[in-house]
Every structure is written in structure tokens, then in C-alpha cells.
């Protein structure tokens, strides 16, 4: 298996994505020709049912890593790691 990650994100772009919802982030990526197919969360996502559904309906692979307690209704992600 081969994993290739290309990360070219500068500080101005980071500010542009700061404090927005996952839905808005996905739309901004798509509207600005960023080519992504996988979303990997870090320290969040266990309770993001609507956002994960939005991403999955658009064809993204969603991998969640989190440690926060979730409800009994977990998102339908491709993977959920929560110790």
C-alpha cells in the first residue's frame, strides 16, 4: 500500500478556513479546485453526524480520530477511532 500526501497550505489559506463548518470547508475546497477525496479529523468528529453525511454524500472518504464522548448515534464514517 502506498500513501501519498501533498500538503501545500500557507498561513493565509489556513486563516481562510479557520472557524467554518465542515460543509463550508468542503464547498470552499470544491469551489477553488482543490482536489481532495479523503477527510481525516484530529480530535473531533465523534458527534459530527450531519457533516459526515454531507461529506459521504459528496463521495469523500471520512476518517475520524477523536477522544471525546459521543452519543449513541455515531456518524457513518469510513473509520472511527475513539479510545
22 contacts 48 by C-beta, under 8 angstroms: yes
Place of cell 484530529: 42
Residues 6+ apart with CB under 8 A from 37: 59, 60, 61
pLDDT of 9? 55
pTM of the model: 0.73
Tens-level pLDDT at each residue, the chain (83 residues): 455 555 555 555 555 556 677 788 888 888 877 778 888 888 888 888 998 999 999 999 999 998 988 788 889 999 999 88
Amino acid at each position: 500500500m502506498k500513501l501519498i500526501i501533498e500538503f501545500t497550505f500557507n498561513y493565509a489559506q489556513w486563516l481562510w478556513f479557520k472557524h467554518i463548518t465542515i460543509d463550508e470547508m468542503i464547498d470552499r475546497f470544491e469551489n477553488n479546485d482543490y482536489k481532495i477525496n479523503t477527510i481525516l479529523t484530529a480530535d473531533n468528529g465523534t458527534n459530527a453526524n450531519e457533516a459526515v453525511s454531507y461529506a459521504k454524500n459528496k463521495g469523500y472518504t471520512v476518517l475520524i480520530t477523536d477522544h471525546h464522548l459521543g452519543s449513541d448515534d455515531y456518524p457513518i464514517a469510513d473509520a472511527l477511532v475513539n479510545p
